[in-house]
Each structure stands twice: as structure tokens, then as C-alpha cells.
Chain A
Amino acid sequence: MHLRPARRLVILAFLWCALATSLGACVPSSGGTAGGIVLAGSTSVQPFAELLAEEYAREHPSEPVINIQGGGSTAGIEAALSGTAEIGMSSRALREAELAEGLSYQPIAYDAIAVVVHQDNPISSLTSEQVRQIFSGEITTWSQLGGPERPITLITREEGSGTRGAFEELLMQDSRISDRALRQDSNGAVRVIVNSDPAAIGYMSLGIVGTFVKPVALDGVQPTTRAAIEGEYALVRPFLFVWRGELSPPARKFVDYCLSPPAQGILSGEGLIPVEE
């Protein structure tokens, strides 16, 4: 849950590299060597990329192995820039500065972000303005929203998270998420906390909401894949593959596979919104 092996790997690799650079011996390893293609980045995209990679390996046994790692959107974009991964995964749009470094990107799907509360919470609909006020700390108790007399427990993601980046950009606009908010480092951790605290509110990828927490309607629209496809539900962000320069032919082949109808079918079956070719 908290201890995702992928993140531990990233930290370990990081420490190792740290040690090596200070000895002046860190050779940047390039992605795609040793017969495998490395994808790294967003932990929101990761499970879906893993699913596609598995299916791809089944259908194309002779192609190089696809190696999926986590680390977060910002780390994924960095990895694509530095060449430690051939493809970076991002669950937010690229920033101006990142685009200026000459990155190419390809959306492989779109994902709705759901605002979620505890199952027992009587509140089932909020306006964007209310969500903004809740997360910026202006509204502090559920009674201010017509709910029970209980302080709101805010759950947010850490800085650098693509889900947080997209949530801030799409919904918070210029407001800042309150310092009172509890920070958790994955969709799963947010879900665990919201599931166990009746006063909690958080936001997470719609695809993995499941039945543990309750998504609330935003401005009267229930977050569903359909509503997002039809453009009624506004909190939608892209899942991107990011790379620098030209993709190697095997990597290109994998990206093309991810955009193919069967792969897109798998993604939409998982609750994501397919890209329109």
C-alpha cells in the first residue's frame, strides 16, 4: 500500500546513483538496452501500462520485454529527459518548461478524477466551488454543507503527483490546497484513509475508486466514464507517454499497440476513456 516496491526501487536506484556520481563514476544507463524497454513514471498510469505490457508480451512473444516502473509523473518526465527510461509516463499535461526541452508525447487514454468521501457520508453532490473551498480550507465542517456536525478531514497527494497536479490545475485554479490536508503518496493510500475515516474527503483516479469509497457528483454530474467521454464531467486529465527524440522501433511498436483498438478496449474496460484516433 504505502511501500510500493517500484518507488523503493526508484529511491534505491537514486541513492546508488547518488553514491556513484559523487565518485564521479555514474554512467547514465540508457533505456531500451539489454533487450528491454523501460517505462517509468506516474503511479496512476502504471497499473494500466502493466496490463497492456502483459497482454503485449502474450501476443508478441518475440518482442523485447516491456519493463514498467513507478516513481510519479514528474520523475517519469525527468526519466524520459535524462534517458533513464525510454518512455516516461505522466498523468498530467506537460508544463511549458518541460515542453521547451523538446519532449514528444502521446496520450494513451484519458482518466477522470473523482472526488471521494466515506460510504456513510450523506453528502453525495458538491459544486466545483464547494470542492475548491473545502480543499483550500474555507469550509471546515460537514455541517456547512448540510451534513453532520463533524470537522472535515482533507486528504491530498504530495507535490509532484500527477493526480494532484491535474486536480490543482483543473479545479483549484489559483487557490492553494490547505496546509491542514493530510498528504498520502498514492491513490491506494488515499483510498485506505477515506475508506476508514467517515469525515474524510479526497480525490483519486476514477478507474480505481471501486466500492470502498463513494464518488460524489460534481456540479450535478456523477463521475462516470460515459459522462467524461461526453464532456459533461469536467475533471478529466490525460495519461501520457513521453519521450525525447525518436522512439526506437520496438518502443514505437509498443506505443502503436497501446493505441490499437484491442488495447484501447482493455483500457476502457478498466474505466479509462479511450483516445479517439
Chain B
Amino acid sequence: MLKEKLVQYLLLAFALTAVLSLTVITVFILREGLPVLVEFGLVRFLTDRVWAPTRGQFGILAMILGSLWVTGGALLVGVPLGLAVAIFTTDYAPPILAELLRPAIQLLAGIPSVIYGFIGLKILVPLIRENLGGPGLSVLAGALVLGVMILPNIIAISEDAIRAVPQLYRDGALALGATHWQSLWRVVLPAARSGIVASVVLGMGRAVGETMAVIMVVGNSLQLPTSPLDAATTLTSNIGLEMAYASGAHRQALFATGIVLFFLIMLLNLVATTFRRRTIRA
């Protein structure tokens, strides 16, 4: 009995530590970042195109656009590919192959991001520069690298969602004379839609938050990107690049960038959990 209680309190303490950490982090970024937001103005901070922190110019528009470009590109690469793999493993692959594929895909999630960045820098960047032009370090390189990095998230959650669709739905569709593909496309995937959307949103969260691999391949220029071959900076890569050297208002501006990211990721997670909950109910 005593042991039972002990374990209970221990677990409670661990759980509270997690909550406490989150609170501390939130308070800290807000405390560090808010002064510059108030002084410089939130709207100006978000819409000004000049980032020259040592001259008191703190516009993160270029980084917001960079993040949008890179994340959008990553989804273009990762979502169709990830969904295709999820459909293949749940519906088409022989069980043995599916059993082999699953750990292989999960292994992708375990590769450190710096390795993705290094491969991108050594293989993708020269390929892009020589065949498509531009400096090679580009939105495109970032999108391709991130597209592969978000595959495990998308595949795992989409697979779960597809598997969660009751067998009755498939049987019903097949009984009405639909082919395997028709029942999948018209019945199973729509039924799994909320789970699939959740997987995409979580993949997006990963793409927005990834830093190291992105620093290595996007070029980190401060221009507003207008083509996939342009170099860009994302919100996270700019923090990673400048944090070590930053002081004073510059440092606060990086924390303010953190606040923007914080709310963006919170929003994405909120969307993802809402969609996920719906799947479970269905």
C-alpha cells in the first residue's frame, strides 16, 4: 500500500516537473522578449523587412516568409510521399514487407538533424547549383531536407488513422462492388481524414521548429525569397545562427522571435490535437 502511494507521488512529481518546466520556459521567453516587442511594436516587428539588429532594426518579415516557403515546400515533398507510404504499408504491402518498412521509417526519425543537414549540404546543394542555378543553398534544398525529415511523423500517424477505420466500412464498400482502390480512396481515406490532417499539422510543426539542418542548407540570407532557388532564413535558423553572438536588444529580439514561434507551434499543436481527438471518436 505504502509502495503504491510512493509510486503515485513520484509519478505526480515527474509530471509536475514537466508542467513546471513549460511554465518556466514560457515566463522566461516572455520576460526576455516582450520589452523589445513593446518598444519596437509587434506589427512593425512582424512586417518590417529590415533585420539589422546592431542598428536597431528588428523586422522579421524575411524570416517569416522564409519559414513559410521552406515549410510549405517540405509539406509538398513530405505529404504525398508520406501518405503514399502509409497507404502502401496498410493496404498493399505484404505483411512481411510492412513489418520491415515500419522500423526502417522510424529509424529515419532517429537520425540527428545535423546529419540531414550535412547530406543536404554535400549532395543536394551542389546538385541544385549545377542543374538549376542559383547558389544551391536555397529554399528548395531546405524543403527537400525537411520533406524527408517529416516523413516519419506523417507516416506513423496517418497509418494509425487508416488502421483505425472500422473494417465494416471497407467490407461495406467492397460489398457494393467497389474495387480495393475505390473503397480506399472514397471511403477509408475520407473516414481517416482528421487523423491524416493531424499528421500533416504535426509534420508542419516539426518543419517549422527544425533548426540545425535548415541553417546548413538554406543559406541564411536576409532577402525576401521570391523563388525556390533563392536563399532564405527561417525563424528558427536565425535564432540558432545569431544567439551565440547576440547581446542587449539584439538578444531580446531573438527571444521575441521565439515568442512568435512559440505561439505558432502552440497553434499548430492545438489544431493537430483537435483533429486527432475527432478521429478517435469516429
Contact = CB atoms under 8 A, between A and B. Distances in A.
Which of B134, B135, B219 is packed against the most chain A CB atoms within 10 Å? B135
B28 interface: yes
Given A22-B27, A180-B223, A183-B233, A193 B244 contact: no
Contact of B247 (A160, A184, A197): A160
A158 B242 contact: yes
Contacts of A23: 24
Interface string B113-133: 010010001000110010000
Contact of A75 (B134, B135, B212, B244): B244
Contacts of B243: 11, 14
Contacts of B223: 179-180
Given A182-B231, A183-B241, A184-B220, A160 B246 contact: yes
Contacts of A3: 114, 212
Given A159-B54, A179-B223, A197-B129, A153 B215 contact: no
Given A3-B212, A197-B129, A182 B137 contact: yes
Given A2-B215, A179-B221, A182-B219, A75 B245 contact: yes
Interface residues of A, number: 38
Contacts of A184: 220
A73 B247 CA distance: 11
B53 interface: yes
A222 to B, nearest CB: 27
Interface in A158-216: 158-161, 176, 179-185, 192-193, 196-197, 199-200
A66 B27 CA distance: 37
15 contacts: A2-B114, A11-B243, A18-B28, A72-B244, A74-B247, A158-B245, A159-B53, A159-B245, A159-B250, A161-B245, A179-B223, A182-B137, A182-B221, A183-B222, A197-B136
Q: Ordered nearest first, which 8 A-B pairs have the shortest CB separation? A: A160-B245, A72-B245, A183-B220, A179-B222, A182-B219, A22-B28, A153-B135, A179-B223
Interface in B238-259: 241-247, 250
A13 to B, nearest CB: 10
B31 interface: yes
A10 interface: yes
B101 interface: no
B242 A159 contact: yes
In this complex, the interface size class of chain B, counting residues with CB under 8 Å from chain A, is 35 or more
A115 B58 CA distance: 29
B242 A160 contact: yes
A70 to B, nearest CB: 8
B216 interface: yes
Contacts of A2: 114, 117, 212, 215-216
A244 interface: no
Contacts of B250: 159-160
Interface string B135-155: 111000000000000000000
A200 B135 contact: yes
A234 B117 CA distance: 37
Contact of A74 (B114, B136, B221, B245): B245
B62 interface: yes
A159 B52 CA distance: 8
Contacts of A7: 244
Contacts of B222: 179, 181, 183
A78 interface: yes
A19 interface: yes
Nearest to A19: B24
Contacts of B215: 2, 185
Contacts of A179: 50, 62, 221-223
Contacts of B246: 74, 159-160
A192 B215 CA distance: 14
Nearest to B232: A182
Nearest to B135: A153
Interface in A87-104: none
Given A22-B24, A75-B244, 15 more contacts: A2-B216, A14-B244, A18-B28, A22-B31, A23-B24, A70-B244, A72-B245, A73-B245, A78-B247, A161-B245, A180-B231, A182-B135, A182-B221, A185-B244, A200-B135
A196 B117 CA distance: 16
Contacts of B247: 74-75, 78, 160
B52 A199 contact: no
Interface in B186-234: 212, 215-216, 219-223, 231, 233
A151 B28 CA distance: 44
Interface string B33-50: 000000000000000001
A72 B243 CA distance: 10
Contact of B221 (A10, A18, A180): A180
